[in-house]
């Protein structure tokens, strides 16, 4: 008889909400990651996550998952002869997250001359409860 047991039920930390993120450039080979600040809303369904960001942000709509307290999301975009692959690998502790952002700039079009290929990383720190969440909480209290 074949077993239908899929193992233990996955445990996923709550990562949903508005997150203010700070990225600080660490290292790179061929390219550098920019230091910057972002605000993302993470929507969660079970152990799955989706990034909601401004339309100009390539991370908008990216999906990923949670395993225990670890979040991994990746996305890509094509620009000229390049393929930009980006990802985050972070650990969520309550209303904070820490981890790493990765960017790989590879060649998508062959044959072509695409200078400046490489990869880089940035330390990523985040805090939940950005401006949108604070405004929403304020409105909820008034109702």
Q: Is 60 exposed, middle or buried (0-12, 13-18, 19+ CB in 10 A)?
A: middle
pTM for the whole thing?
A: 0.82
User: What pLDDT is recorded for position 135?
Assistant: 42
User: What pLDDT is recorded for position 4?
Assistant: 64
Q: Specify the CATH number of the domain 17-127.
A: 2.40.128
Residue from 139, 80, 71 nearest 109 by CA: 80
Q: What are the boundaries of each domain within the chain?
A: 17-127
Tens of pLDDT along the chain (143 residues) come to 565 666 666 689 999 999 999 999 998 999 999 999 999 999 999 999 999 999 999 999 999 999 999 999 999 999 999 999 999 999 999 999 999 999 999 999 888 888 989 999 999 999 999 554 444 444 444 44
Q: Cβ distance 84 to 77 under 8 Å?
A: yes
User: What pLDDT is recorded for position 141?
Assistant: 40
13: which 2 tokens? 């930390």
């Amino acid at each position: 008889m074949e077993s239908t047991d899929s193992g233990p039920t996955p445990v996923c930390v709550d990562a949903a909400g508005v997150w203010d993120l700070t990225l600080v450039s660490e290292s790179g080979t061929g390219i550098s990651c920019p230091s910057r600040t972002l605000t993302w809303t993470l929507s969660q369904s079970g152990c799955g996550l989706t990034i909601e960001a401004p339309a100009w942000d390539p991370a908008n709509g990216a999906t990923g998952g949670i395993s225990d307290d670890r979040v991994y999301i990746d996305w890509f975009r094509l620009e000229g002869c390049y393929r930009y692959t980006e990802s985050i690998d972070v650990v969520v502790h309550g209303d904070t997250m820490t981890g790493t952002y990765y960017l790989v700039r590879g060649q998508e079009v062959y044959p072509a001359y695409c200078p400046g290929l490489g990869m880089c990383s940035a330390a990523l720190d985040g805090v939940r409860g950005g401006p949108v969440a604070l405004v929403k909480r304020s409105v909820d209290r008034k109702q």
